[in-house]
Structure 1
């Protein structure tokens, strides 16, 4: 198959540090290539995905000029013998392609804009538009208005070293953007109450509200003895950090669409403790690979039950459910289904 893949041109594919969608796109490209398919990527100019790249840009404040310029580019896909068009980016950027007979797959990694789903479903050429969601939580928001397939995000299992045991005093870890809805300060409360060390890793977003959150809710508790902040981490550092952790904390206060860091932790054999929000209860199976909690009190108690969780089982759930090989095969099957229905 000849496949066009689009992603918003904000972060290169693959990303060096933060960039969950771009990381998934890179994994998918590698799997498709491994299975003999030709992939052309439309993305940030610095992308290095190992396939043909067509670079494009959009303004910080996306507007009419961006819409016209980008659609002038993507409309050419209709005349270039592609079998499938797959976008992880703005649906506006393939607006003109809706009337094309080429199968189109639109993947949601964030909550969908339902008005756009309805509009696209209405104008798209019959039997050419397919939606995917990174979790059932996201899929449920779409399936009232259009058919949608849940395809969980994944990781390259071979890039994550399984650690069967960690020391009894291994630290808890928080890995993600340092902002209120990610629950960094809640992770600190869990560590302080349980008496365990906590390593915080991740970037502080540039917006003033996030800087203020860090300076008032996080920084005052950093003592580099019990609570440490190490900043953003690269893939090698992430592997080391997660693999040597007692558990990953996911104390999110918003509905997390998936949370790739959970799959990364499980691939290292590290259990996950998270709040019952968004897709977390789809990834974390209570008592099997971690614990799903409804309150801070439950999360604190769950830390004491981590020795009951098998790290080998954690790795197994990552291999079976959140593996790049599985992800690639599911998308490939969807492409073939879409092509056969033309």
Structure 2
């Protein structure tokens, strides 16, 4: 198969620090090539991949920039792909809507149903398919368009499974520092349970005040913020943690950090929101809490979770090998329907 993959123009593939979906694109490209397929990527100019690369000319998000990026993707017509798999904007597929080329739009966030309906009206019949990174996302698309779930995942080769941690191992909070991610809830839980907590992640400019008021005042020798981390640093931090906390205040579309945590054997303790309920098997690879009191209760019970079972749940459902296999099956089904 000749497969073109498109990423958003803002972050290179693979990313250095922040950029979860860019990591997935990276192992997908490698997996497709190892399986003998011809692959090309449209992505940020600083991407470093083992396939052909078409570079976006703009990394901004204004209307003119979007038109430039659509023009860049239009260059794929010379390459003549069998399938275009978009991890970028649905609008970027516009040059191919009325062609026979099969198109897949993979959603990593809440879909805009109006745009999906419009794209279906414009596109040639049976050439546009959608995937969601969780059932939570797919179930929003499925009433209006062909869609199926293919989970996000993690390259387990870059994470080390740890079968045990120290008795006083810290809790871990990893991800963007903002209210919906519940970093403040993780701090409160660590204080109530008298546990160590390591906080890692980027602070978006618009949430600096949140960090300064809700997180920074509580930092001390037991609750520490280590800033952004790369893959090596994530591997080390998740590996020494007793549990990853996900006390989120929104419906998480997937949360790649959870797959990364499980790859280290580290269980997850989070709220029953969004895809957390699909990733966490209560009592097997972590705990699902209904409220703050339950969150703290399960923190106290985190050592009861088998780290081996946590690791196996990642291997069985969220490994890069599994994700690549699932996408290839989808490509085959689309081309032979």
* TM superposition score normalised by structure 2: 0.97
* Cα distance in structure 1, aligned partners of 2:19 and 2:70: 24
Query: Pairwise CA RMSD of aligned residues?
Result: 1.2
3-state secondary structure, aligned to 2:71: helix
Offset of residue 67 of structure 1: 4.3
Offset of residue 59 of structure 1: 5.9
3-state secondary structure, aligned to 1:213: helix
* Cα distance in structure 2, aligned partners of 1:71 and 1:240: 40
Aligned to 2:180: 181
Q: Does 1:277 align with 2:273?
A: yes
The aligned runs of 1:183-332 (5 Å cut-off) are 183-207=182-206, 210-223=207-220, 225-332=221-328
| Superimposed CA distance per residue, residues 201-249 of structure 1 (whole angstroms, 9 cap, x where no aligned partner) | 1111122xx11001000000001x2101111111111101001100000
Aligned to 2:97: 98
The aligned runs of 1:42-61 (5 Å cut-off) are 42-58=42-58, 60-61=60-61
The aligned runs of 1:12-23 (5 Å cut-off) are 12-23=12-23
Worse overlay, 68-77 or 244-253: 68-77
* Cα distance in structure 1, aligned partners of 2:53 and 2:261: 31
Contact preservation (8 Å) 2:9, 2:59 = no
Runs of 4 or more above 2 Å deviation: 57-62, 65-81
* Structure 2 residue runs without a partner (length 5+): none
| Superimposed CA distance per residue, residues 43-95 of structure 1 (whole angstroms, 9 cap, x where no aligned partner) | 100001221111013463421x3344333332343343211111000111111
* Cα distance in structure 1, aligned partners of 2:176 and 2:47: 22
* Structure 1 residue runs without a partner (length 5+): none
| Superimposed CA distance per residue, residues 1-51 of structure 1 (whole angstroms, 9 cap, x where no aligned partner) | 111111111000011010111111111111111111121110100001221
Offset of residue 159 of structure 1: 1.4
Q: How many residues get paired?
A: 337
* TM superposition score normalised by structure 1: 0.96
Q: Does 1:9 align with 2:9?
A: yes
1:336 to 314, 319, 332: 332
